[in-house]
Amino acid sequence: MYNFEFERPGSVAEAVAALKSEEAQALGGGQTLIPTLKQRLAAPAKLVSLGGIAEMKGVCLNDDGSLSIGGGTTHAEVARAAAAHYPALAALAGGIGDPAVRNRGTIGGSLANNDPSACYPSAALGSGATIVTDRREIAADDYFQGLFTTALDEGEIITSVRFPVPEKANYQKFLQPASRFALVGVFVAHYAGGTRIAVTGASEDGVFRWSAAEEALASGAALDGMAPEADGMIADLHGTKAYRAHLTGVLTRRALQAMA
Amino acid sequence: MPKDSGIGASSKRREDVRFLTGAGNYTDDINIHGQAYVHFLRSDVAHGRIVSLDTSAAAAMPGVVRIFTGADFEGVGGLPCGWQVTDRHGQPMAEPGHPVLAQGKVRHVGDPIAAVVAESPEQARDAAEAIEAEIEELPAVIDMKAALAEGAAKVHDDLPSNLCYDWGFVEENKGAVDAAFAEAAHVTTLELVNNRLVANPMEPRVAIGDYARATGESTLYTTSQNPHVIRLLMGAFVLGIPEHKLRVVAPDVGGGFGSKIFHYAEEAFCTFAAKALARPVKWTSSRSEAFMSDAHGRDHVSKIELALDADNNFTALRTETYANMGAYLSTFAPSVPTWLHGTLMAGNYKTPLIYVNVKAVFTNTVPVDAYRGAGRPEATYQLERVIDKAARELGVDPIALRRQNFVTEFPYQTPVAVVYDTGDYNATMDKLEEIADIAGFAARRAESEARGKLRGLGVNCYIEACGIAPSNLVGQLGARAGLYDAATVRVNATGSISVMVGAHSHGQGHETAFPQVVAEMLGIDESMIEIVHGDSSKIPFGMGTYGSRSLAVCGSAMVRATEKIINKAKKIAAHLMEASEADIELKDGQFSVAGTDKSVAWGDVTLAAYVPHNYPLEDIEPGLEETAFYDPSNFTYPAGAYACEVEVDPETGKVTVERFSAADDFGNIVNPMIVSGQVHGGLGQGIGQALLENCAYDPETGQLLSASYMDYAMPRADDVPFYAVDHSCATPCTHNPLGVKGCGEAGAIGSPPSVVNAVIDALQSGGKAVTHIDMPMSPSRVWSAMQG
Ligand SMILES: Cc1cc2nc3c(=O)[nH]c(=O)nc-3n(C[C@H](O)[C@H](O)[C@H](O)COP(=O)(O)OP(=O)(O)OC[C@H]3O[C@@H](n4cnc5c(N)ncnc54)[C@H](O)[C@@H]3O)c2cc1C
């Protein structure tokens, strides 16, 4: 890695100020950023660690029944603390990477990074969550903008994520055999207003809502044999476009079955 | 009663104490005062001409000691190839130069262009980035058949084409084989790919060069399976250093699987630069570098045809293989698809006529060489897949078809040069049917089907030629070195023993198993015996560890040396007891005079040897130390039968290995626990190859697509089942003193075909007309095959 300055502020305000300096970058759990630095694929002048900001950590149930998770909360903490309130979300967090990754990596880092194969984006989009930053609130439907691309501005920090808690939900992750990220992951959440289906790992445009399936469910139709268009799906060593499209259908049905 | 020491005991691995407590001494743990660090600038294109290389800005960077390029190595030899194959027309293979640092062209992603030596690894890397290398990209040659097509770009401009050799074996049999096919009642044909693999030992490669100006002695510390081979190749062919001025040390080595047999550019570089700079130079490979600089394994594309008569007897076998050599010839690369592959094509069967054709091809990829099994897995895979396919086509039981064609009389001269000394293939198949509970399969399949899953059973046999090798034979076949091994047994005054061996242990447990043999022969405690290996200045000239040879070859040398020790010790004992040498017996560490109650202990005799006050000095020398070299008279032929049971999820194509059983005949067993461990490890690698591992290049650009663990899938603990292994069916090797055959590679050789056979069985049970899926059988590939 290249040399960089390092700061570890104690509050969001200080972090925002620190991130204003030239080529500064936030450091969450470092589970994506540190390997990138080691490979010399990024060269920030300064890393601003969010790890010392107490107000960004923890899981709490709001009065309106929604669940707020601090942007600096680790996957392991979500797996533990959200289990009673939002089991599908907790299970998703508990299935990310390995114990080392889960005890360092954070939800804010995952959502900011928006890896097309990451798990959390499907939960945020599938739950219609709200991404809360140091300066505004962004609806999940507006937040994800393609591979590794989000609505965040330069230096903007995810301070928390607010999840409306569904009546039932389920996440089906089909492992990419090498990385064990999601080859395809489907998050299905059922709310009074309807069912949301978000798919990660599959599309060249990153996480997406499978609206056709949502509509079919709303009209009471079954999803048997249904799959999204293969066009626009990711093709790589681990799966063809057609396979990813097919898996999306299979995993969605399995999620619904698990919820039934 | 299982024994608790000596031959046959499952003695606990004594080396594990240091490995498991972090007390090992690996090459990277060695740091020499004043050492500098090298970083290699590696090509990021697959094929290109070096137009210019400007190191001036880089040389001025902080901490830079010196930057080397190909020009610095113009007067130095290239990396040698240790095996020359002669082609079908009696011509030697094409043998291109292999410079330590690229000269003129780069030929694969990862090919080293320049080497920066600096005060710290970071400074070396920083400066390497400042080197201005202008490289004119040339078309990359990746696919083997395209590489041989008219007009293909040439990897080596000075060669006529990208063909290394076109080998026919046995060439004189070709006509008879073709005639047998013309008369066959049934012919089964199969085209398959043996996927390219990256060895991925846990410890990446490291090299440290050191030079003592006062004595003119060079020392290379390196992650090697065979320090003497490196000393020979590097000293004689690359750097011109005589043996007495070159020491090669391979300390604790964290796995090799073949990839650490070879002599690599980085070793020669560090040794060369240490002398040029008069200071130690260290290189530690990153995992990313390992992917693009460690020799890869396998990468064969084959067509195999099996001819049968009306009674389902195998009458002839014909194969055509394209074998990828990569961009340069790695040390033993040419031998792998030829002598380690063609000679095993008979398998366990008495097929009378066999013809093997292999075209070895240069491509713009990392060099390919031996990887656990080396050639024998490729042979086994083709043969055991085509037999399975034949059984399906003929509607006969695949086990019965195999049994019907087994070799049953030994010694057996195969039509492909080798002579199997002993074996009992029906016995291992019987054992397999028992431990795999093949009779219970139907019930297990029904249970899987009730859960919506497809279940398949796949069986295969294997045979390998191990204990490499008779030197005179391999010399005729093109080896440029002998393949004996050596051991020195040094008995100390108090009776403890140091055994210096030419074999190298990098996971095999020699430090535990070898003492068991000596302890058994002398009747003393194993703890009195210590194995010394890995340092050319301490051990006799042995050829190292690969090809499941350590115990069969080096262990035999150790037995011979120990026999010499016993002979001499008996003379001393006879003198001490004033008896005739012929009457001396050695039992449980006591020398006694037959028919009397007179005895002296082992320790009394060893003390007398070193304090020769009462000693027959006029007849024998003092001291008790003996060396033996052992050159085997034949290969050893471990063989066995394996069964794999898989479940396939028909919706996703995901394959789960539910059961895996291995019945092996390794001859006599010294340490059953270590043998089981070797089989377990090999099975993990074989299942990894069958289901997960895939070293893939972009066919257009030659970029390595699986360049890290994000895309290269290693098997994890939960990818493999609990294994049922058995090695009780032993037909001891007839020609080495221990009767051992070697067990290191069997698991990796024997497992891939049964996994594929099982998946095909599962899919066919689900009504799918799938006859073959290439490895790795990823969920996507299996699902795609099921779509027809
Ligand atoms: C071996 C391994 C396996 C993994 N497996 C999975 C898996 O199965 N599923 C999965 O989803 N992920 C997986 N991951 C990724 C892991 O979840 C990462 O932790 C996560 O993607 C990034 O979170 P982080 O806190 O480590 O962020 P960092 O690596 O620190 O940062 C990532 C990016 O986010 C920015 N950032 C960090 N925090 C914030 C914030 N609060 N606000 C704004 N920007 C911020 C950083 O500037 C950087 O650009 C794996 C990682 C590894 C190493």
The string of pLDDT tens digits covering residues A199-231 is 999 999 999 999 999 999 999 998 999 999 999
Closest to B285 in 3D by CA, of B263, B266, B260: B266
**Rounded to whole angstroms, how far apart are CA atoms B694 and B517?**
40
- Does any ligand 1 atom lie closer than 6 A to the CB of residue A19? no
Q: Is A211 on the interface with B (CB under 8 A)?
A: no
End-to-end CA distance of chain B: 55
Question: In B384-527, which ranges are E strands?
Answer: 412-413, 419-420, 454-463, 485-491, 497-501
pLDDT band for position A77 (50/70/90)?
Answer: very high
**Rounded to whole angstroms, how far apart are CA atoms B194 and B371?**
12
Q: Is B689 on the interface with A (CB under 8 A)?
A: no
Asked whether the bond before B411 is cis by omega within 30 degrees of 0, the reply is yes
Cβ of A239 within 8 Å of Cβ of B778? The answer is yes
Rounded to the nearest angstrom, the minimum Cα separation between B778 and chain A is 7
Considering only the beta carbons, identify the residue of B651, B712, B784 that sits closest to A178.
B712
The number of residues in chain B equals: 788
Residue B26 has pLDDT above 80, yes or no: yes
Residue B761 has pLDDT above 90, yes or no: yes
Contacts of A18 (CB under 8 A, 6+ apart): A7, A9, A24, A46, A48
pLDDT digits (tens, 9 = 90+) for B562-592: 999 999 999 999 999 999 999 999 999 999 9
Q: Is A191 on the interface with B (CB under 8 A)?
A: no
Q: What is the pLDDT of residue A69?
A: 98
Say if residues B593 and B582 touch (Cβ distance below 8 Å): no
Residue B155 has pLDDT above 90, yes or no: yes
Report pTM: 0.97
As a whole number of Å, the CA-based R_g of chain B is 27
Considering only the beta carbons, identify the residue of B651, B706, B780 that sits closest to A239.
B780
Within 8 A of A237 by CB-CB distance, chain B residues are 694, 696, 705-706, 711
Search chain B and give the residue with CA nearest A253.
Answer: B651
Considering only the beta carbons, identify the residue of B129, B696, B784 that sits closest to A237.
B696
CA distances from B623 to B305, B487, B490 (A): 61, 17, 9
* Mean pLDDT score across all residues of chain B: 97
Instruction: Identify the structural domains of chain A with CATH numbers, from first to last.
Output: 5-163 (3.30.465.10), 168-259 (3.30.390.50)
Cβ of B709 within 8 Å of Cβ of A246? The answer is no
- Does any ligand 1 atom lie closer than 6 A to the CB of residue A200? no
Q: Cα B729 to chain center, whole Å?
A: 24
CA distances from B633 to B22, B123, B324, B550, B627 (A): 41, 53, 31, 15, 19
- Does any ligand 1 atom lie closer than 6 A to the CB of residue A116? no
Within 8 A of A250 by CB-CB distance, chain B residues are 651-652
Rounded to the nearest angstrom, the minimum Cα separation between B689 and chain A is 13
Q: Which residues pair with B406 in a beta bridge?
A: B349
Mean pLDDT for A45-62 is 98
Ligand 1 center to A88 CA (angstroms): 20
| Other Cβ atoms within 10 Å of A71 Cβ, number | 28
Tokens of B562: 């120990």
Q: Is A245 on the interface with B (CB under 8 A)?
A: no
* Mean pLDDT score across all residues of chain A: 97
Q: Fold identical between B31-132+205-284 and B484-630? A: no
Question: What are the phi and psi torsion angles at B394 (to 5°)?
Answer: -90, -10
**Rounded to whole angstroms, how far apart are CA atoms B541 and B740?**
22
CA distances from A28 to A103, A188, B368 (A): 12, 27, 41
Q: Count of CB contacts below 8 A, A vs B? A: 48
By three-state DSSP, how is residue B782 classified?
A: helix
Closest to B645 in 3D by CA, of B364, B440, B419: B440
Ligand 1 center to A197 CA (angstroms): 23
Considering only the beta carbons, identify the residue of A39, A179, A238 that sits closest to B780.
A238
Q: Which helix (H) or strand (E) holds B390?
A: helix B376-394
Mean pLDDT for B32-38 is 98
Residue ranges per domain, chain B?
31-132+205-284, 296-469+634-786, 484-630
At how many degrees (to 10) do helices B779-786 and B746-765 cross? Answer: 40
Closest to A35 in 3D by CA, of B710, B692, B292: B710
Residue B746 has pLDDT above 70, yes or no: yes
Cβ of A242 within 8 Å of Cβ of B784? The answer is yes
As a whole number of Å, the CA-based R_g of chain A is 18
Considering only the beta carbons, identify the residue of B129, B652, B705 that sits closest to A247.
B652
CATH of domain B296-469+634-786: 3.30.365.10
Residue A9 has pLDDT above 90, yes or no: yes
- Does any ligand 1 atom lie closer than 6 A to the CB of residue A233? no
Q: Is B694 on the interface with A (CB under 8 A)?
A: yes
Residue B469 has pLDDT above 90, yes or no: no
Q: Is A237 on the interface with B (CB under 8 A)?
A: yes
Mean pLDDT for A164-183 is 98
Cβ of A177 within 8 Å of Cβ of B705? The answer is no
Q: What is the pLDDT of residue B225?
A: 98
By three-state DSSP, how is residue B597 classified?
A: coil
Rounded to the nearest angstrom, the minimum Cα separation between B115 and chain A is 18
Residue B1 has pLDDT above 70, yes or no: no
Closest to B279 in 3D by CA, of B339, B234, B218, B348: B218
Tell the residue number behind the tokens 């002599």, with chain if given: B263
Q: Is the dihedral of CA A187, A191, A193, A195 positive or negative?
A: positive
Q: What is the pLDDT of residue B59?
A: 98
Say if residues B41 and B128 touch (Cβ distance below 8 Å): yes
Say if residues B646 and B755 touch (Cβ distance below 8 Å): yes
Q: Which fold, B484-630?
A: Aldehyde Oxidoreductase; domain 4 (3.30.365)
Ligand 1 center to A38 CA (angstroms): 15
Mean pLDDT for B509-518 is 98
Q: Is B134 on the interface with A (CB under 8 A)?
A: no
By three-state DSSP, how is residue B496 classified?
A: coil
ipTM of this model?
A: 0.96
- Does any ligand 1 atom lie closer than 6 A to the CB of residue A96? yes
Mean pLDDT for B496-502 is 98
Cβ of A243 within 8 Å of Cβ of B696? The answer is no
CATH of domain B31-132+205-284: 3.90.1170.50
Say if residues B753 and B460 touch (Cβ distance below 8 Å): yes
Say if residues A28 and A50 touch (Cβ distance below 8 Å): yes
Closest to B98 in 3D by CA, of B271, B289, B327, B276: B327
**Rounded to whole angstroms, how far apart are CA atoms B207 and B259?**
14
Atom 10 of ligand 1, nearest CA residue:
A118
Q: What is the pLDDT of residue B563?
A: 98
Ligand 1 center to B288 CA (angstroms): 21
**Rounded to whole angstroms, how far apart are CA atoms B298 and A22?**
50
Residue B788 has pLDDT above 90, yes or no: no
Q: What is the pLDDT of residue B741?
A: 97
